[in-house]
């Protein structure tokens, strides 16, 4: 009988509690009016009468904890409940898939260097030490052009061939001097042998020695003449009185390795004479180029030889090409009141073309700091500078105190520890998520 009465009371409380809150309140009042001893006699457990209404009063675990309350608290935490767990203030719950989809980049906090730079406009020019003009040292006619415009050349490579009467005459003089030298050498050696045996007179020996010395001098002079005309030692050594064909042939070789950047003659053109072209090609080695900068007098005290330079274009398409200052002119331009400053940069991939306008970022100061973060990691929330620290569940807002800074990064004085991972890219997405969460808390 007691069990039946208790079941009726509990069932009535549950039904009325779910359908009619006012009636539930009345039932609660009526039940609370029943003396506790009477409820105990009926078999009801002691405690809050509201527990009778919910039907959870007797469901406790071995430690006395309310198991139904714990289940209700975590109803939505397993991904199958009716809602998501509510995040604490300043915390953004975000799964790794959402972080990747939002393209939020993260990086650990570490020490670094703050760099102050001076921005100066400049122009790319060739390195004068790596530009060569290939001249026609003799009067002649172009019979071969072996290189096209833009073609690469090696040092000493034959780039053109002329036919020159001047060269033919010089080679002929050398051959004649070579023949005379061989003859006078033979006569001198013969007279010397006879003189040593007291067979020949001393006067004959002296005449033979003088003739031999003159022949040797003449041979040396003709060889130097060929060298001055640009005839190489190998070509001179290959000359022979037995082969006098092609003495007018004159080879022109590249003085340095590079690329043909200009061709000034055509096939069959006369060169070297009065009113004629004196150069055939211009070769440039653009593996290293110069940047000519104009620095104002106000910025000039910050410039020093050897300072590092970063070259960029107007569109930042080729950012990060390093270089160094190699020259600072002691003379100012009287028209612009600026000083000419030269920086050299590597250009092996031929990215930088002479004549291009660029911007040079000159490093004027470098200062190491204990904690350095990029400016892209900073967001302003309620007037405070904050960063978002990566956690196991997502991100946590963290207020920071900043110190010195440059154009790209700042020093963190307080708020972060070395090794912590923070959002450094697209952190504005986290700021927006934080704003949404705070708006929900407000309601």
Q: Does residue 64 surpass a pLDDT of 70?
A: no
b vs e for 258-287, b when ≥16 Cβ sit within 10 Å of the residue's Cβ?
bbbbebebeeeeebbeeeebeebbbbbbbe
Give the separation between CA 91 and CA 419, rounded to whole angstroms: 20
Tokens at 183, concatenated: 């003859």
Residue 324 has pLDDT above 50, yes or no: yes
Q: Are residues 229 and 319 in the same domain?
A: no
Residue 78 lies in a domain: no
Asked if residue 208 and residue 226 are part of one domain, the reply reads yes
Contact at 8 Å (CB) between 253 and 232? yes
For residues 147 and 247, state if they share a domain.
yes
Same domain, 155 and 274: yes
Is 235 a domain residue?
yes
- Asked if residue 137 has pLDDT above 80, the reply is yes
**CATH of residue 422:** 2.40.420.20
User: Which residue, of 284, 308, 339, is where some domain finishes?
Assistant: 284
| pLDDT tens track for 331-373 | 998 888 899 999 999 998 888 989 999 988 888 888 899 999 9
Is the per-residue pLDDT at 68 higher than 90? no
Would you say 124 and 358 are in contact if contact means Cβ atoms under 8 Å apart? yes
Q: What is the pLDDT of residues 207-222, one digit of tens each?
A: 999 999 999 999 999 9
Distance CA 135, CA 123 (A): 28
pTM for the model stands at 0.56
Kind plus residue range of the DSSP H or E element containing 173: helix 165-196
> Is 121 in the same domain as 221?
no
Number of compact structural domains in the chain: 4
Report whether 202 contacts 210 (CB < 8 A): no
Mean pLDDT of 97-110: 91
**The two three-digit tokens of residue 313, written as one number:** 């274009």
- Tens of pLDDT, residue by residue over 114-129, are 888 888 899 999 999 9
Read off the tokens for 269. 């053109």
In a domain, 375, yes or no: yes
Judged against a pLDDT cut of 80, whether residue 5 lies above it is answered with no
Q: What's 195's domain CATH number?
A: 2.40.50.100
Among candidate residues 367, 386, 404, the one where a domain is terminated: 367
Residue 69 within a domain: no
The CATH number of residue 124's host domain is: 2.40.30.170
- Tell me whether residue 237 is in a domain: yes
Tell me the average pLDDT of the chain.
Answer: 80
178 and 274 fall within a common domain: yes
Quick check: is 63 in a domain? Answer: no
CA dihedral defined by 350, 354, 360, 363, rounded to 10 degrees? 60
- Which of 352, 367, 382 is a domain's end point? 367
Whether 87 shows a pLDDT value over 50: the answer reads yes
Decide if pLDDT at 37 tops 90. no
- Both 148 and 217 in one domain: the answer is yes
Dump pLDDT digits (tens) for 159-207. Answer: 999 999 998 999 989 999 999 999 999 999 988 888 888 887 888 889 9
The C-alpha atoms of residue 70 and residue 359 are separated, in whole angstroms, by 65
Q: Are residues 43 and 188 in the same domain?
A: no
Q: Are residues 169 and 278 in the same domain?
A: yes
If asked whether residues 315 and 215 sit together in one domain, one would say: no
Are residue 330 and residue 372 in the same domain, yes or no? no
Residue 182 lies in a domain: yes
The answer on 214 and 166 residing in a single domain is yes
Which whole number is the average pLDDT over 275-300?
92
Choose between 46 and 88: higher pLDDT: 88
How large a percentage of the chain has pLDDT more than 90? 41
**357 found inside a domain:** yes
Residue 413: which domain range?
Answer: 91-111+368-442
């Amino acid at each position: 009988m007691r069990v039946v009465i208790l079941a009726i009371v509990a069932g009535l409380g549950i039904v009325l509690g779910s359908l009619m809150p006012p009636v539930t309140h009345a039932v609660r009042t009526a039940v609370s009016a029943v003396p506790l001893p009477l409820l105990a006699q009926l078999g009801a457990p002691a405690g809050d009468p509201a527990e009778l209404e919910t039907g959870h009063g007797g469901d406790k675990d071995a430690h006395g904890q309310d198991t139904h309350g714990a289940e209700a608290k975590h109803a939505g935490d397993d991904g199958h409940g009716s809602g998501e767990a509510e995040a604490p203030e300043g915390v953004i719950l975000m799964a790794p898939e959402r972080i990747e989809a939002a393209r939020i980049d993260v990086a650990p906090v570490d020490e670094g260097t703050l760099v102050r730079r001076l921005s100066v406009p400049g122009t790319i020019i060739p390195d004068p030490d790596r530009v060569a003009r290939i001249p026609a040292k003799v009067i002649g006619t172009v019979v071969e052009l072996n290189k096209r415009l833009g073609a690469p050349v090696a040092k000493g490579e034959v780039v053109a061939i002329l036919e020159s009467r001047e060269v033919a005459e010089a080679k002929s003089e050398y051959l004649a001097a070579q023949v005379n030298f061989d003859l006078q050498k033979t006569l001198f050696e013969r007279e010397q042998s006879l003189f040593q045996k007291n067979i020949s007179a001393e006067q004959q020996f002296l005449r033979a020695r003088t003739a031999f010395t003159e022949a040797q001098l003449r041979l040396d002079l003709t060889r130097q003449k060929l060298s001055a005309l640009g005839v190489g030692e190998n070509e001179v050594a290959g000359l022979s009185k037995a082969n006098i064909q092609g003495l007018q042939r004159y080879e022109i070789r590249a003085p340095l390795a590079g690329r043909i950047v200009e061709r000034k003659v055509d096939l069959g053109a006369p060169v070297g004479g009065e009113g004629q072209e004196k150069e055939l090609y211009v070769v440039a080695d653009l593996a290293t180029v110069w940047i000519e900068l104009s620095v104002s007098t106000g910025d000039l005290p910050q410039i020093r030889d050897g300072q590092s330079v970063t070259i960029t274009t107007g569109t930042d398409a080729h950012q990060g090409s390093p270089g160094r200052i190699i020259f600072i002119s002691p003379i100012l331009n009287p028209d612009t009141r600026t000083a000419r400053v030269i920086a050299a940069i590597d250009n092996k991939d031929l990215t930088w073309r002479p004549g291009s306008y660029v911007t040079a970022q000159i490093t004027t100061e470098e200062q190491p700091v204990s904690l350095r973060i990029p400016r892209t990691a900073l967001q302003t929330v309620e007037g405070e500078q904050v960063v978002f620290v990566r956690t196991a569940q997502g991100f946590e807002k963290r207020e920071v105190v900043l110190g010195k800074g440059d154009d790209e990064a700042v020093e963190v004085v307080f708020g972060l520890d070395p090794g912590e991972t923070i959002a450094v890219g697209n952190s504005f997405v986290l700021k927006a998520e934080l704003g949404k969460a705070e708006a929900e808390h407000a309601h």
